[in-house]
Amino acid sequence: METVSLFGLPFYSGNMAGAVEVAFGRLRDGCRCAVFTPNAEILRNCIEDEAMHALALQADLLLPDGIGVVKAAQILDVPLTGRLPGVDFAAALAKRAACEGVSLYLFGAAPGVAERAAENLQSTYPGLRVCGCRNGYFSPQEEEQIALDIAQSGAGIVFVCLGSPKQEAFIAAHGQAFEGKICVGLGGSLDVFAGTVRRAPALFIRLHAEWLYRLLCQPTRLKRMLRIPGLFAAARKEKRRLKKEGGENCGKTGGAGRA
């Protein structure tokens, strides 16, 4: 698996088809494949928070979800191919799962959302088996049992949609229970699949401006959006540091994958 290093994190540098193949390759090998999908805001959190950075390193596959991650890579001359949105990766996994008979578990969002998402996904991908749904509201005391229920559900793929960093922490904490499964942290993707949240129109997606559409729909996101320029500032600072030290940031971290 070819990866590039961005702020010390090994981001996958291939295309969507390759990412799906990596995940299914690990599934075939009986290994856990923890997939995290950082956007610009999450990447900045990783830079500023050592615990978050360490958590991100526990992923088996790190996908650059947002255009902000790609722009930061460009500033640092890191050869990141392009953005791989988590919701598109999830859809590609569901399509492949329907073809190969792999079951899916949906975990997260408000009560009833996972069930509606399951219905829509099964309608879109005939033959897809959803072996369990569970909302994202639970107490710390319930977490161990939820992980056990997912582990025993027969699912080969688990969409964990709890928001960051809760979803990443859940996947990492229960790695042993999730051996032989693809576990993906997907934020609000279940709401998109359920139709309770509308994804940006094709024009916004094509122009890499989904962030603008979300901001127009939810002006309360402005405070979060204002953190993104700080990522670019951090990238420029890192580039100056590397130049001063005479280092060359080619970004290469990985070789041939197991997929």
Domain-by-domain residue ranges, the chain?
3-244
Stated pTM of the model? 0.89
Residues in the chain: 259
Flag residues of the chain having pLDDT under 70. Answer: 222, 247-259
Q: Can you give the pLDDT at residue 259? A: 35
Q: What is the pLDDT of residues 172-195, one digit of tens each?
A: 999 889 999 999 999 999 999 999
**3-state DSSP of the chain:** CCEEEECCEEEECCCHHHHHHHHHHHHHCCCCEEEECCCHHHHHHHHHCHHHHHHHCCCCEECCCCHHHHHHHHHCCCCCCCCCCHHHHHHHHHHHHHHHCCCEEEEECCCCHHHHHHHHHHHHCCCCCEEEEECCCCCHHHHHHHHHHHHCCCCCEEEEECCCCHHHHHHHHCCCCCCCCEEEECCCHHHHHHCCCCCCCHHHHHCCCHHHHHHHHCHHHHHHHCCHHHHHHHHHHHHHHHHHCCCCCCCECCCCCCC
